[in-house]
Each structure stands twice: as C-alpha cells, then as structure tokens.
A and B are shown apart, each in its own frame.
Chain A
C-alpha cells in the first residue's frame, strides 16, 4: 500500500522568494515519486519524477526535488518564485510494477504575491 501526505493545503510566498512544498510518502516497496502541477481549469502536467536514478531531480520551470529515503520525503523547491508559478501542486507515488497505479496527495495551492 502507498500513500502521500502533503503538508499545508495552501502555501503563500512573495515573488522572488524560495518555494518549498512538502511531500512525505509511505510505501512498502521502493517508490517512484512524481510532482504534477495544475493550473486553473486545466489538467495535470508533469513537473518532475524520481525513478531510482539520481536523488536530486530537476524539472521544468526551475523546480527541483530531492528524494530522501531516510526521511521518506520528496520536497519540491524553487529558488525564486514567479507569479506564473501560482497553481496547485500534487505529489504522487507509485510502485515499481508495470501495472502499478498512481496515488496522489491532496494537493498544495501555491499563492504568489507581488
């Protein structure tokens, strides 16, 4: 069984500030981890993914995340927030199996103020 916990349903930052969105996972097998972004009234778009290669993963739009097995975490960061980063972000986990399904966290809404 797998699960994801995203700390904070809303995170507010100022433009130019560090973005940190937290994700902790639970998995009985080595996990694959994903971050997706959803802009208003749109579907989800992949930001980045960890699939057991490098633990520091770089994604689109300047985002990156680090897989920390000891902390069961996969936090998403961006050094400097932009107004266009305002969206909802979802962390997701799956197992290493061709038929495994993706389990999502409840999402974190990122608000960026000028």
Chain B
C-alpha cells in the first residue's frame, strides 16, 4: 500500500493563479480531510469528506474548494491564490472505525504564493 499520496511536493504560484493539490489514498477509507500547517498555529482543518459525494467545511474553508467523486481521491482547489495561502498542506484519511481510528497523513505540499 502506498498509503496517502500528495502531489506536487512543492509549488510556487503568483497571486491570482489557480491550482489543484492532489490527494489519493489506497486504503479504501471513507473519511478524508485537508489541513494547513502554519508556524505556531498547529494544523487547521480546511475541508473534509465522509464519503464520495459528501464534503463539509472545516475551520478555515475560505478560498478553497473540494469535491469527492471517488473514494480514492480528494483534490483541493485554490481558485485565486493569495499570499495568505502560503502554507504546508496535508491530506489525511481515516480508517473505518470512525473517531477511534487513526488518521494517516500524506507527506505534504509546500505552497508559496508570491
């Protein structure tokens, strides 16, 4: 199993550009989520999904869109990038036992918006 994979690892954007961060998992997990990590702020939840076709907002959803068309993939879209979105982004998936189960994290995407 590859676990949770994310692409790209690094990305530099100009203000106003759009892009999609890719996330895939091969563990057949229903629950997937996106976090951003900023120095001194810990990880903050952006969006999450409890299954294909079902998504919901987390703590910091503004400026980000998600969709979930398959169990495996959960892409995160930045429609018009802003410098405030410079961060490290982590995708995670959670096993089938719900809240007691472990969340598995991808290696992260480091995004810089100029």
Residues of A within 8 A of B (CB): 9, 32, 34, 36, 41-46, 49, 51, 90, 94-107
Contacts and interface: CB of A to CB of B under 8 A. Distances in A.
A37 to B, nearest CB: 11
Nearest to A50: B100
Contacts of A107: 40, 42
A25 B103 CA distance: 19
Interface of B: 4, 31, 33, 35, 40-45, 48, 50, 58, 90, 92, 98-100, 102-103, 105-108
16 contacts: A32-B99, A44-B92, A44-B103, A45-B105, A49-B100, A49-B102, A51-B99, A94-B99, A96-B99, A99-B98, A101-B33, A101-B45, A104-B42, A104-B43, A106-B41, A107-B42
Contacts of A104: 35, 42-44
Contact of B102 (A46, A95, A106): A46
